[in-house]
A and B are shown apart, each in its own frame.
Chain A
Amino acid sequence: GDSVTQMEGPVTLSEEAFLTINCTYTATGYPSLFWYVQYPGEGLQLLLKATKADDKGSNKGFEATYRKETTSFHLEKGSVQVSDSAVYFCALSGGGADGLTFGKGTHLIIQP
């Protein structure tokens, strides 16, 4: 079945550092890929998405490129802020009868 693997956290960075959170997936067919963010005490919010190979999703300075050849969708940001501290979930939609498949989440901590 479909699966999503994310790097283990917590990831701790200093403000203005470069961020990469790795995400790889296993799926049949051509899934859509998503990154969700969960700020403390809140539900999950859609951060960005990509629906086909080589698409780049972007939002709030975050980017992720759908790489079919490496089955990856790594999240990047050039300069993180303290307000980016949150849990980030990678997910895929296989397009079949099953729902979204989520990774286990990566807790990001940004220190001033």
Chain B
Amino acid sequence: GAGVSQSPSNKVTEKGKDVELRCDPISGHTALYWYRQSLGQGLEFLIYFQGNSAPDKSGLPSDRFSAERTGGSVSTLTIQRTQQEDSAVYLCASSFMRAGGTYGYTFGSGTRLTVV
């Protein structure tokens, strides 16, 4: 597609439920990233995928968080047993290569998750 697409744009869920967030990167971008942005805060790196290599999960805050990327394209971020502190905007980005080179990343519009 022309840009990075994320769905849903907004999600309200009850505490304890599982949620799945989807990211469809730009076609041809081999690198995909998930970030979390809590209210009024900066970007918190969560996980990175590069092609078919094992993902860099170093930013995942707990074992309730997991992500997969099927066929080197679409990615799903799953949060199990959601807690109120999981409420944030989850941003996905993609690029040609991890370092971003001279092009940087292209971000989606994000999914705003609210846990009530």
B-chain residues with CB within 8 Å of residue A98 when the two chains form the complex: 98-99
Any A CB within 8 A of the CB of B108: yes
Q: Are B108 and A43 in contact (CB under 8 A)?
A: yes
Which residues of A have CB within 8 Å of B108?
Answer: 43
Q: Which of A86-103 contact B (CB under 8 A)?
A: 89, 91, 93-100, 102-103
A12 CB, nearest partner CB in chain B, Å: 15
What residue of chain B has the Cβ atom nearest to residue A95's Cβ?
A: B99
Task: Decide: B107 and A93 in contact? CB cutoff 8 A.
Answer: no
B65 sits at the interface (CB 8 A): no
Contacting residue for B104 out of A43, A93, A96, A103, CB 8 A: A93
**Total interface residues on B, using CB and 8 Å?**
24
A46 contacts the other chain (CB 8 A):
yes
A93 contact from B40, B42, B91, B101, Cβ within 8 A: B101
Contact B99 A96 (CB under 8 A): yes
Q: Does B25 contact A (CB under 8 A)?
A: no
A99 contacts which chain B residues (CB < 8 A)?
Answer: 31, 33, 45, 48, 98-100, 105
19 contacts between A and B (CB under 8 A): A32-B102, A34-B100, A34-B104, A42-B109, A44-B107, A46-B104, A46-B105, A46-B106, A89-B42, A93-B99, A93-B100, A96-B99, A98-B99, A99-B99, A100-B99, A100-B100, A103-B42, A104-B41, A105-B42
Q: Knowing that A43-B107, A105-B43 are A-B contacts, what are 11 other residue pairs whose CB atoms are under 8 Å apart, sorted by A's residue number?
A: A41-B109, A42-B110, A43-B109, A46-B104, A46-B105, A46-B106, A51-B102, A97-B99, A98-B98, A99-B105, A107-B40
